[in-house]
Amino acid sequence: MHRAYYSAIERGEKNITLVTLHRIADGFGVSMSKLLADLG
């Protein structure tokens, strides 16, 4: 995935699917639940 896409996600300009969330979590080396648990 391109860095501009990640940036748009961070700014709230793009909505992501569960598949994309899974790819991001894999990139960070964590589970999806761990990635979401850190939100708040």
Tens digits of residue pLDDT in 4-21: 998 999 899 999 999 999
The mean per-residue pLDDT over the stretch 14-40 comes to 89
Whether the CA torsion 19, 21, 2, 10 is positive or negative: it is positive
Whether the CA torsion 18, 22, 35, 39 is positive or negative: it is negative
In this prediction, residue 40 carries a pLDDT of: 66
Using CB atoms within 10 Å of the CB of residue 21, give its burial: 0 to 12 exposed, 13 to 18 middle, 19+ buried. Answer: middle
* pTM for the whole structure: 0.71
Whether the CA torsion 3, 40, 34, 21 is positive or negative: it is negative
Residue written as tokens 């990635």?
35
The distance from CA 26 to its chain's CA centroid, rounded to whole angstroms, is 9
